[in-house]
Amino acid sequence: MNPLGRSKPSTNPNLGCTDFITMGERELSAFFNTVKQLFGSEQAELSAEDWLRELIEIDALPASAREWRVITAKASTRLAGRVSASSLSTQPQIA
């Protein structure tokens, strides 16, 4: 199974809570594996924590792949800020 592959949105309006949780697990797993591959284990762990914080902040369990992706997008924004700040602090200073 390709962890970077996109999942198809469900067309079944009768999905149960377990199905929504499975969607979330897949989304987090794909996000974690991608960040790990691109930026390393440390950033992947920090990004997973960001992802979980975003999940905690919403009022209800996401009910679609699109809603899970919103969480991933917000966590990605935090990752981008960390990576940008890190690259700026490691660049040589011009005197």
Q: Is 31 exposed, middle or buried (0-12, 13-18, 19+ CB in 10 A)?
A: buried
Per-residue pLDDT of the chain (95 residues; tens, 9 = 90+): 444 444 455 555 556 778 888 999 999 999 999 999 999 999 999 999 999 999 999 988 898 999 999 999 999 999 999 998 877 666 555 55
Residues 6+ apart with CB under 8 A from 8: 65
CA 91 to mean position of chain CA atoms:
27
**Quick one: pLDDT at residue 16?**
72
